[in-house]
Structure 1
Amino acid sequence: MNKKWLLPIFASFMLFSTTNINTAEAASKADLTDTASKYLGVPYKYGGTTTSGFDCSGFTSKVFSDLGIQLNRTSGSQYQQGTAVAKSDLQVGDLVFFNTSGSGISHVGIYIGDGKMIHSQTGQGVSYSNVNDPYYWGDRYVGAKRVATFDAQQQAEVKQAAIDFSVYASRAEVAVQIAKALNLDTSDTTTSFVDVKPTYAHAGAIAAVAKLGIFEGDANGKFNPSSPITRAQIAKVLVLAFGLENNGGSVAFSDVPQKSWANEYVSTLASNGITNGDGDGSFGSDELLKIEQLKVFIERIQQ
């Protein structure tokens, strides 16, 4: 296995906690609505997660990802995040869920106030609708979840209930573990990231990996330390950070198509014996990375 421990290359990710972190500076209510509204007119596409076409949960995931908050991939799994809120207590940014198939949660949108939501719907793509529409949405409403609150200080607070940060890894946790594995000097706690103050517990690790180009911030100059990371995303992180090379061609997983952006990175991990997938033929690409999984991956790389 070819390893280049200090490869100073790393892509910018809106990914993806260090333990017990439950806040993230993100956006105002206006930022939320502006971010969502910029996708108006993007067509509906089943399974779509890009501006070439969104399905309902692909759209909500994209909007929240733009704001540094990671959502689960499907409407059903997004319904498992956050805290439940009554319809009468809906606030801007709440996720609203509907049963359009007759068999449970099958649609999700983002509440934007005044009884309206923005969502990606079949036939219209990203558009506005009335949550209480008596002809369709009103009768199919199931409930709402608050994954982030946009308070008077116009910051979003990621709800601790959304992600168990004692279990799942984050950008900050990844920075800590990589800095430890590479034996980096973490004494300098000054960074250029607006959301990482020198007093932050893991500022030193973040500063160290940033100096090497291993991590970059988002377009707003934020590191998003409390954003979780998926297994597909960590595959790219590890391959680039440790300079891994493919040792045996493509390794197929059912949820990593050959044309997927993650295929070469996941295949590289698998060809080096760093991952065997989930044991059911899949890699678990969209699953959030657990802290223990991160540690196992790094241990295997170092062997």
Structure 2
Amino acid sequence: MFDDSDPRKALLRTAPAEATATGPFCLPQVGRFHEDPPLATGAGWRAWMLGATQMVLRVVELDGTAEFARSGQLDEYMVFSLGPEVRFTITTGAGAVEDHPGNHLFIVPPGDSRVTAQGRGTVTFIFTARSADLVAQCPPAAQPVAPNPCIPPFQPWPDPPGGFRLRAYDLDVPAQEGRFGRIFRCTTLMVNILPRFTAPRDTAKVSPHFHASFEQVSLTLAGEFEHFLRWPWTPDQAHWLPDMRIACSSPSATVLPPPALHTTLWASPEAQIVDIFAPPRMDFSQRAGWVLNAEDYPMARTAIE
């Protein structure tokens, strides 16, 4: 049900949710970081965490310096900030950057690493749920209540041909007609950093859609958003769920579970949202030119959905 003006209308079609969903279904998770007490604090920073089925999110509000280290990290993770006032120093066993400007996405290799962020802004870390220690740090209210039967076991994508290393990608990417957002992937994750919206969404072009086998984490970094969700009816009325409308201020994160039909509205000026997936989406990857770092990471051989 994509609007004709939506580039996602060209994506490969899947079977209707009603034909494949059997229930029971999982409800969305919402991390309202703007009103919840932080999970951790330091001199000049506050951090919140949210655990989804396949990933863990750490969101840091920075006004000073914050340092986070990983020892023996199993797989790649991502760090990014859209704030031009944030500077990064990152050290790994496969590359380093020092006093690097913000408005970049960093893909950090497995192994030992240390990320130091300095300045003022929001910094986001994204890990897979294979980092069991990070999953354990998420409070119970910020973790899935039950496994979602629609989501298959996590499978990483192929290793980069040149090997794992620290990678930095400039987010100052001009819009291009027919391309959807600014999409980057690695072996474990995919992010779509959508353009900053400067006017309310046209309610005649809202493009409700669903995902059959993966969840979407929508990270609100600026402004006000509303997510609308609807689940299919099954023969068992006990599986039916009421429609939901979730209001999100910033910063916050919402986990949109399969196979819920969903769409999003934004009503405030200067609204910013980032969509996150684990592992990468096959349908986005199959669109030529959509994944901006596709040359660095080969596609999986079989479709994820």
Bigger fraction of residues in strand: 2
Bigger fraction of residues in helix: 1
Q: TM-score, normalised by structure 1?
A: 0.25
The structure number with the bigger radius of gyration is 1
